[in-house]
Amino acid sequence: MTLTIAELARALDARFWGDGSLAVRGAAEAGLADEGQISLATAPAYAEKLAPGSMAIIAEDMDPEALGLSAAILVRRPRVAMASLTRAFDQGPDFPPGIHPTAVIDPSAEIGEGASIGPFVVIGARVRLGAGAKIGSHVSIGRDTVIGDQALFHPGVRIAHEVVIGDRVILHPGVSIGADGFSFVTPEKSGVEQIRETLGERGDIREQHWTRIHSLGGVEIGDDVEIGANSTIDRGTMRATRIGRGTKIDNLVQVGHNCVVGEDTMLCGLVGIAGSTRIGNRVVLGGQVGVSDNIFVGDDVIAGGATKIFTNAPAGRVLLGSPAVKMETHVEAQKNIRRLPRLYAQVAELRETVKKLMEKRSDEES
């Protein structure tokens, strides 16, 4: 794809400076652009790397003439500009039109108009696939699953039976939706149940065997959800596990059975959410955050990387640490931990001083 500077500026809802007729064939990092590529350099550290006469996207308060540019696009919010820029030049994966001859599709399945179905895809009984859906190679879709319009499933996605997926959902390679929940029970109270009640005390330890609880619920995924590579969402026990509209899930994320995740929430890489937990709207969980089962995380909560949430989190709270506490509390605690060696040395010095004073007093009294 080739755009002029003027056309690209209109696409970014921004103004341009310099020669608006220059052709832009792609984008590159500052200092790495080849001929015809435009650089994103919205901070001084990146602007210093720009070659004289090059093209760049810069912040509104920067001076393109002083930077020696031939053309520039000036934007208000650089991160939003990056989204628009990458969208303009992203050709995406190759999905040839029609149905590949190696695909295995049950006769009762309904395939929407304009769908693309790749090699070795398996689609089960009574599946409904929306218009314009793109299904990559080696994808499997279980019986009675409903998938909305303009879905994009990359190769190797696994969709179990009785799953409902909305419009424009993107699933990256290796995503698994609708596997059975991790639910087991013992004939008598297990050690886990005992310590939940006693917070540490255990009764008699005896031999016990786990009995499987089957998963009768499905999974429901709202419109405009994107799920990263090798992430997994388990089906519910009696009711569906639900992912709200517009939520974005990174790679290697686990969402347990019966969970409800709200709208426009972001789950970063290696997040793990245990079963029957409720996550609110617009929540952001940083990488490696863990959330215990049967609790809720309120709307607009932000949890920093590696935070472990063991109890309910009120709406709007900013959390960090294990166990999770308010971010400012965690930061202050870490400062205090770093002060401990100095405090220990001061206490040791004080003890030595007191010891000497006591010895001197004893000598004087004798």
What is the Cα–Cα distance from 3 to 6, expressed in whole angstroms? 8
Q: Which structure tokens are listed for 321? A: 């640490």
Strands 15-18 and 128-129: unpaired
Beta strand pairing status for 266-267 and 284-285?
A: parallel
CA distance 177 to 163: 8
Nearby residues of 197 by Cβ (< 8 Å), 6 or more positions away: none
Residue 257 annotated in active site: yes
Cβ atoms of residues 119 and 100 within 8 Å: yes
- The secondary structure of residue 44, as a DSSP letter, is H
Q: How far separated are the first and last CA of the chain, in Å rounded?
A: 98
Token pair, residue 75, equals: 């934007």
The one catalytic residue among 154, 172, 257, 330: 257
For 207, residues 6+ apart whose C-beta sits below 8 A from its C-beta are: none
**Tokens encoding 178:** 């609708």
Q: Which residues are catalytic?
A: 257
